[in-house]
Chains A and B, each alone.
Chain A
Amino acid sequence: MIACGGIPIEEFHDGELPAAAAEEVRRHLAACASCARSLDELRRLEGLLKAAPVHDPPRVDDYGARVRERLRASGSARWKALLPLAAAAALAAVLWCTLPVDVAALVLEYAASTSPETRRAIETRIHQGGAPAVAVLEQVMRDGAPQAQAAAGVILARHPDPAVRMRLIEQTRAESEAPEEWELTEIGTEPTDDELVGCAFELLKSPRTREDAVRILCKLYKGGANRAVREAIVDGAKELLTSAVPRDQELGLELVRAMELRFLLADLVDLLDAPALRNQAHRVLVEQEKRDYGRDKQAWRRYFAGKRT
């Protein structure tokens, strides 16, 4: 039986352990009254905490109305400077009822793209969206993330309708900004990019978004992101690689390969006897290190130990 000091009771309680480790803890608990008491105490504490009531929430309708009111209040002053009052009111109503997120998402795609063809195609699609699309662009330019603001500015500046371009010029003049000087910033160059790391690892979990996530992480890692961002990415990749879950290990492997994280290669040696991943792990080791010790873990370890010294 494992010694009590090594029993991860809290992780067991929180359902954070892989099945095999949880089973081991369960066996220990059946034989150890002291640990069983600790678990019981943890459960009682959780029950006590959950029993503490929350103040009654506000009524849904009132609450929603107040959010709407705040939303209008926070945006109205600048809109009034741009548009006639009636048009502004109509626009606010349209914006409130449904979010034209297609345009917003396209702006992001535009900001992330480096291909002139893709950008032109996106511009055309947005320009075809007429006045509602322009309204979204103007909103993104005012309140969006820096990359999105810049992209929206460029798309507006190239709008076929002269009135739209004129409004942009008036607005930017009013804010002492030069419309000709919009610059797109790539992922990996903004100080706030660290916010993307968590999201990218989240996206990595879904097969649908996995490719995007790897691309974002690569861009962040290789694109001049600050040290904290790169460290967070390496930590995340290492955590995946050393996880007991094969799917996580596979994701870790993919990151190591895509980002060429050479100093994590030594961790790949442990995967050389993982049934589902041994071939991939072996391939990455050979690709990156330009040598081949087959699946001989000892030989690989000796090699990496030699490299360290």
Chain B
Amino acid sequence: MVDAELRVMKPGEGSVAFDDLVRRHMAEAYAFCFRLTGRAAEAEDLSQEGFVAAYRALPSFRGESSFRSWLFQILVNRWRDRRRGRRREEARLEAARSEAERRGRPAEGGALEAAELGALVKERVADLPDRQREVLVLHVYHELSHGEIAVVLACTYDDVKVNLSLARKKLREDLREYV
């Protein structure tokens, strides 16, 4: 769990280039944000905001735990702040828009091209309740254990287990024709 690059952050052991941390973690941070937000532009914005926040908060980071987990924590918190900050009206409009898009799509019973199936999966993941989506994304796409997810999301091990199970149940139902 200890990031090699952060060992050098301990007192008396020198320093590390932040640039290097960005380079090492940007792809994963971006992918994580993309799966949370479902939008490329917002993923880039959110992940960059996360790096800036991580830089600002570095003095309060003791450096012994994983930078990766810590960055996930920051990104989830920023993402939740944004969700909270977004006006209800906007959220309603967005829901209506995605519903309209769904209706406009070809019937789901037919054989879908890989790209279409990918888009459908992405959409179904995006439809999950926030906590379920966060747990699922961290587990499936970033391969964090239940315990690690509990740390990132500041919840209990059982919360992780239950939410992951609920997410899978919902996705199995939504995607039953393809599973």
Contacts and interface: CB of A to CB of B under 8 A. Distances in A.
Contacts of A140: 59
A206 to B, nearest CB: 7
Contact of B9 (A54, A66, A105, A143): A105
Nearest to B77: A195
Nearest to A74: B52
B147 to A, nearest CB: 8
A45 B172 contact: yes
Interface string A197-214: 111011101101100100
A202 B1 contact: yes
A197 B57 CA distance: 17
Interface residues of A, number: 66
Interface in B8-57: 8-19, 22-23, 26-27, 30-31, 34-35, 40, 43-44, 48-49, 51-52, 55-57
A44 B179 contact: yes
B150 interface: yes
Nearest to A198: B151
A64 B59 contact: no
Interface of B: 1-2, 8-19, 22-23, 26-27, 30-31, 34-35, 40, 43-44, 48-49, 51-52, 55-60, 62-66, 69, 114, 117-119, 121-122, 125, 136, 139-141, 145-146, 150-152, 154, 156-157, 161, 164-165, 168, 171-172, 175, 178-179
Nearest to B115: A53
A194 B175 contact: no
A49 B48 contact: no
Contacts of B26: 57, 60, 63-64
A175 interface: no
Interface in A189-236: 194-195, 197-199, 201-203, 205-206, 208-209, 212, 235
29 contacts: A10-B164, A45-B172, A48-B175, A49-B121, A49-B136, A51-B121, A54-B30, A54-B35, A55-B34, A58-B44, A63-B22, A63-B30, A70-B49, A71-B55, A96-B19, A98-B15, A98-B16, A98-B17, A99-B9, A99-B55, A102-B13, A104-B59, A105-B10, A105-B63, A109-B11, A143-B56, A202-B69, A206-B2, A239-B157
A212 B62 CA distance: 11
A239 B31 CA distance: 32
B5 to A, nearest CB: 11
A11 B44 CA distance: 33
